[in-house]
Amino acid sequence: MILYGSSLSPYVRKVLAFAHEKGVELEVQPVAPGDPDPGFRAASPFGKMPGFRDGDYALSDSSAIIHYLEAKFPQPALIPAEAKAKGRTIWFEEFADTILVSCGAKIFFNLIVAPRFLGRPGDPEAARQAELNDLPPILDYLERAVPDGDGYLVGDSLTLADLAVAGPFANFRHTNTRVDPRRYPRTVAYVDRILSRSSFAPWIERETAFLAREPA
Ligand SMILES: N[C@@H](CCC(=O)N[C@@H](CS)C(=O)NCC(=O)O)C(=O)O
């Protein structure tokens, strides 16, 4: 199975982590958004990453890909079957994909993507405003929502909720966006714990090395 994209995208990183937690191997074909690669465009008609291919079956959108993988490889279950737990899991994924990633994208795009990959200046003020205005209510919410100790967001085992919520924090690391451990101790400890799993850590290490090589 092929996943088109780059793990620098929180959507791609989420699918990679999800597949790893299931023991499913994905071959990553690196493409940038809008890449003309025919395999990618057949999988992702609007040129967004991730795209995905399993034989002659192609799909785009991280959530669609994840639901496909969950149905095809049911064990270990990462999306609970019980109604309330399933609803909460999908809420956390949607919260991450829309509210959290929207904030992170304003920072990551303007500090990294535009200047390094698009060859044009970003808007550091827009990034600063996102950090000042958008991020605190998100972190305030998470500080109430995340579990203490070694727990998980939904139920007593890892689910898609944990992968979706923790993953975008790797982009905050790449932009040196500080999450204050005195103000958000539970969130910082929780995110560090999830991102240190083997489904995330090697990807984040590679991203960090790649960004260190790329000229600013
Ligand atoms: N809802 C989609 C969002 C995918 C998405 O927006 N990916 C970004 C990269 S982080 C992209 O390809 N952006 C380029 C564009 O919007 O043209 C998903 O979950 O996969």
Residue 101 CA, closest ligand 1 atom number: 10
Q: Mean pLDDT, consecutive 10-residue segments, the chain of 216 residues?
A: 98 98 98 95 97 98 98 98 98 98 98 95 98 98 96 98 98 98 98 98 98 78
Give the pLDDT confidence score for residue 119 in this predicted structure: 93
Phi, psi angle pair for 66, to nearest 5°: -65, -40
Cα 186 to chain centroid distance, Å, stands at: 20
Q: What is the distance in A from the centroid of ligand 1 to the CA of 16? A: 15
CATH number of 83-213: 1.20.1050.10
Note the pLDDT tens digit of each residue in 161-183: 999 999 999 999 999 999 999 99
Closest atom of ligand 1 to CA, residue 48: 12
Domain residues of the chain, as ranges?
Answer: 2-72, 83-213
Query: If you classify domain 2-72 with CATH, what class do you get?
Result: alpha beta
**Residue of the nearest CA to atom 18 in ligand 1?**
61
Probe target for ligand 1 pocket from 4, 11, 174, with the most ligand atoms within 8 Å of CB = 11
- Per-residue model confidence (pLDDT) at position 153: 98
H/E stretch holding 58 reads strand 57-60
pTM of this prediction exceeds 0.85: yes
